[in-house]
Chain A
Amino acid sequence: MSVKEEAKNLLGKGMDGVLFYQMKDGSAIPHLFTSKDIDEMPDVREIPDSERYPLSDILSKLLMRFSSAKFGIVARGCDERAIIELEKHQQIDTSRVSLIGFACSPELAKICSCSKPYTESLADEMNEAQEISRGIESVERMSTPARLGFWLSNFSVCVKCMGCRNICPLCFCKECSLQDEDLVESGVLPPSIPTFHLLRAIDMAGRCVMCGLCEEACPAGIPLRTLYGKVSEIVREELGYVPGTRGVKSPLEELGSSVGSDDDLKS
């Protein structure tokens, strides 16, 4: 069954809209399909590999704005992982979401260094994906001074567009540490080295679902997949946590939530 037929079924079952891409002048752009325009929903193969957007973040915004509506979403593996992780952070109410999954092309999976370029519903049909390099090994092979130089030179070209944060499906905080004057001085380029990038890297630990949208959005070409891939590797090896998997919350979140209640803080 095509995703369009699956989406039609969802609308028939009372969903208010299905989030996916619309084709416009040869480009795929995010769009919420309703019963009025569902016939225009393209097939997954029509979506160019280079045109991915943070659909999970859009879904989160829609759920908050339309507080009683139900939505379907045609999702890639990374969209699904972000939805799972966002639910753990109370940003998505999955009881109001139905997911139609699809697999990325092998070419895109390679570009993304993605080890799971498909949704859980398709896991049985897929070949076991290879763990692909995120550039971590080549950076770790460098001598310590060379590695430091590699990162400092990459951080020095940052134009502080905030694109990495803005496009990140897991960046939902209302107050952002990157805009804290005590941590990152405002009005200075490049932004505080290495504080700015390490702050974001620490926030990505236990959260990053490796969608790679940050690296794609970076006008300075900073290897953010490698940076966040490394912090994710540390969290996986030290704490056994992989963001975007069902079940337990990130141990980093548990640490925060068990320290006292709001009342304790006030007194």
Chain B
Amino acid sequence: MIDEEMVDYRTVPTVCPYCGAGCGMLLEVCSGEVIGVLPMKGHPSSKGSLCAKGWSSPEFLKSSNRLAKAILREEGEEKEVSLESALGLVVENLNRVLEKYGPEAVGFISSARCTNEENYLLEKFARTFAKTNNIDHCARL
């Protein structure tokens, strides 16, 4: 018998992060590290299947290309900034473009992985605050 603390394998039920279908998947976790994914057999809608994206999702989980923090690109140079200052910059520039060029110059992109309510809020924000119909979502591939 080896050190008990070391030997650990469990599966964690979760929802596929890729699209709005929200298929059920199990993350295979070995001593705290995700080593694979399995389709969740008992899931009411995906019924034990996944698509190519769901099956390959563990590949991007540990990708060094993932943005984990807000990055600001200024004159070609990228630097890490706080989320507060990044959002402040978005507000500042959104107001500036709206004032100078009008509602047709801005657009909003929501996500299929947001909740229905979050998508509703962004749609309301686009149409009532920015007064534009330029709103779309990531699932329009």
Q: List residues of A whose CB falls within 8 A of some B CB.
A: 14-17, 19, 22, 24-32, 34-36, 48, 50-54, 58, 61-62, 65-66, 68-70, 159-163, 166-167, 216-219
Interface size on B, residues (CB 8 A): 29
Chain A residues near B49: list those with CB within 8 A: 161, 163, 217-219
Render B5-39 as a binary contact track against A, CB cut-off 8 A, 1 for contact. 01111110100000000000010101000011011
CB neighbours of A58 from chain B (8 A): 9, 28
Question: Which of A48, A51, A160, A219 has its CB near the most chain B CB atoms (within 10 A)?
Answer: A219
B27 to chain A, nearest CB (A): 10
In this complex, which of B36, B48, B56 has the most chain A Cβ atoms within 10 angstroms of its Cβ?
B48
Q: Can you list 6 A-B pairs with a CB-CB distance of less than 8 A?
A: A16-B1, A17-B9, A34-B4, A51-B41, A58-B28, A217-B48
- Minimum C-beta distance from A87 to chain B (A): 20
In the bound complex, how far is the Cα of B4 from the Cα of A29, in angstroms? 22
B50 within 8 A of A: yes
Whether B26 lies near A162 (C-beta < 8 A) is no
One digit per residue, 1 when the CB lies within 8 angstroms of any chain A CB and 0 when it does not, for chain B 37-65 equals 01111110000111110111000000000
- Option from B6, B9, B42, B56 in Cβ contact (under 8 Å) with A28: B42
A-B pairs with lowest CB-CB distance, top 9: A27-B42, A32-B9, A219-B49, A51-B41, A16-B7, A29-B11, A14-B1, A161-B52, A161-B51
Complex CA–CA separation, A14 to B42 (angstroms): 33
CB < 8 Å neighbour of B48 from A50, A68, A162: A50
Residues of A within 8 A of B48 (CB): 50-51, 216-217
Does the CB pair A163–B2 fall under 8 Å?
A: no
Is B11 touching A31 in the complex (CB atoms < 8 A)?
yes
Sample of 9 further A-B pairs with CB below 8 A, known A66-B2, A159-B51: A26-B42, A31-B9, A31-B10, A50-B42, A69-B1, A161-B55, A219-B49, A219-B50, A219-B51
Instruction: Kindly report which residue of chain A lies nearest to residue B8, judged by CB atoms.
Output: A32
Question: Which residues from B are CB-within-8-Å of A32?
Answer: 7-10
**B30 CB contacts on chain A under 8 angstroms:** 61-62, 65
B-chain residues with CB within 8 Å of residue A54 when the two chains form the complex: 38
Interchain CB contact (< 8 A) of B39 among A14, A36, A163: A163
What residues of chain A lie closer than 8 Å to B11, measured between beta carbons? 29-31
Cα-based distance from A159 to B21 in the complex (angstroms): 16
Among residues of B, the one whose C-beta sits closest to the C-beta of A31 is B10
Do B52 and A159 have beta carbons less than 8 Å apart?
A: yes
User: B50 to A48, Cβ gap below 8 A?
Assistant: no
Determine the chain A residues whose CB is within 8 A of the CB of B9 once the complex forms.
Answer: 17, 19, 30-32, 58, 62
Does the CB pair A29–B7 fall under 8 Å?
no
Most B Cβ at <10 Å: residue of A25, A30, A48: A30
A150 to B109 CA separation, bound complex (whole angstroms): 43
Q: Contact between A48 and B39 (Cβ–Cβ < 8 Å)?
A: no
- Bound-state CA distance A28–B13 (Å) is 10
Q: Which residues of B contact A219 (CB under 8 A)?
A: 49-51
Tell me which residues across on chain B come within 8 A of A28, comparing CB atoms: 41-42
Please determine whether B13 and A163 come into contact, CB atoms closer than 8 angstroms.
no
CB distance from B26 to the nearest CB of A (A): 6
> When the two chains form their complex, are residues A162 and B41 in contact, meaning their CB atoms are under 8 A apart?
no
